[in-house]
Amino acid sequence: MKTFEDLIQEVQKPGLCRQCGGCVSFCRAAHYDALEMGPKGEPRYKDVSRCSECGLCYLVCPEVNELVEETRARLSWAEPIGSVDMVCMARARDPLIRELSTDGGTVTAMLLHLLETRRIDGAIVSRQPGPFQRLPFLARTKKDILLSAGAVYAAAPEASFRGGRCSTYVSSASSLPELEARGVARAAMVGVPDQILAMRKMETMHITPSDRIQYYFGLFCSGGFEFGPRRRARLEAMGGFSWPQVERVNLKERLQIHLTGGEQADIPLERMDFMIRPACRYCRDYSAELADISMGGLGAPEGWTTVIIRNENGKKAYFEAREAALEEMEPSKMAPLRTTALELIRHYSQAKRRRGVKRRAELEATVA
């Protein structure tokens, strides 16, 4: 049976660890408390004497191949981008939610509807504690969910935006152990592909805290980006802007940097390879293929969300929210757009998978 020591050797040391927090979340939720997240977001031993060497942390890891096929089969995964039941274009009915959110606020509107109809008691999201910072957060109220709306830079907990390392990646799964502590029996989780995979593997094994997650909302993900001082300066030069002008950032076909005064700087993603998080270079999932619903701005007009409904659980949540909280695009306008969006998502997914497979093979060749 492989253990956390094997994760250190096989995943952390080669630079494959996504820092998703899955291994730590299980260990804490199971009350083993042998692991913790380090100051830079890395899983590490908190108390090695408490480790039972059960091996479940190893199996949970999204970078480990064990249980992937079983999990995919359980969720009726299919080539090339997982199960696709429906593709829609939607946005929040509430103008306030649209104003606060990115890409139409569909995720926020659905979370609020689930909370208000008592389908969930809380949601695993991320929250902005300060300028250009974003940290994991367990939202339990309408105010909490509204405060988590939108997409901006996320800073490492020990860093400030102007002087430290910032990243677009947030380890949302590290909030999962709070579910029991705060009495949340039913939750939704919003996460990027690796976080969804880690939790779905927990489901396959029927282990905590996956039993408390009722809905998985996956986010389209080109990769996480890190913003150290030198990289930020290089990006400023590429986009012709200065950081004090930046209000929010969005990732679609390009990096969209929204500036004060309504201006926008667009940078092609292929020019941003120098900023990508090391572990994200090996990721092979763009569209969160194992979520109940996957969402993002790719292929949608400004202010709208592309929504991929993947299963009955996602379909029921979407249709109920559509009746009360969502506005769906008119069918005559939506039909050609969703065809184009699906083609784009398949293209981005296949490109990301090819890159991830190639880079992983290159890494293994250098280690061998």
| CA-to-CA separations, 306 to 27, 47, 100, in angstroms, rounded | 35, 44, 18
Q: Are 207 and 26 in contact (CB under 8 A)?
A: yes
Q: For strand 254-259 and strand 246-251, is the pairing parallel, antiparallel, or unpaired?
A: antiparallel
Q: What is the pLDDT of residue 133?
A: 59
Nearest to 162 by CA among 225, 238, 226, 244: 244
Element (H, E) at 235: helix 229-239
Q: Is the pLDDT score of 161 beyond 50?
A: no
DSSP letter for 93, please.
S
Instruction: Please give the residue that has the higher pLDDT: either 56 or 172.
Output: 56
Nearest to 345 by CA among 80, 77, 106: 80
Quote the DSSP letter at residue 102: S
Place of tokens 């120098």: 274
pLDDT tens string 310-339: 999 999 999 999 999 999 999 999 999 999
Percent of the chain at pLDDT > 90 equals 73
pLDDT digits (tens, 9 = 90+) for 265-304: 999 888 888 889 999 999 999 999 999 999 999 999 999 9
Q: Which residue has the higher pLDDT, 40 or 332?
A: 332
Burial of 217 (0-12, 13-18, 19+ CB in 10 A): buried
Average the pLDDT over 346-368 and give the result: 92
Strands 305-309 and 293-296, sheet pairing: antiparallel
Give me the DSSP letters along 180-224. HHTT--SEEEEE-HHHHHHHHHHHHHT-TTGGGEEEEEEE--S--
Q: What is the pTM of this model?
A: 0.92
Residue 106's closest CA among 328, 310, 311, 258? 328
Regarding predicted confidence, which is higher, 157 or 213?
213
pLDDT at 152 over 80: no
Distance of CA 199 to the CA centre of its chain: 12
Nearest to 58 by CA among 86, 101, 88, 16: 16
Q: How far, CA to CA in Å, does 54 sit from each of 23, 44, 205, 251? A: 12, 16, 13, 39
Name the residue among 292, 236, 308 with its Cα closest to residue 86: 308
The amino acid sitting at 78 is A
Six-digit token string for 95: 């103008």
Q: Are 140 and 340 in contact (CB under 8 A)?
A: no
Average pLDDT over residues 121-135: 76
Give the model's pLDDT for residue 219.
95
241 vs 367, more confident: 241
pLDDT in tens, 16-31: 999 999 999 999 999 9
Look at residue 158 and tell me whether its pLDDT is greater than 80.
Answer: no
**What separation in angstroms does the CA of 326 have from each of 94, 145, 278, 317?**
8, 16, 37, 11
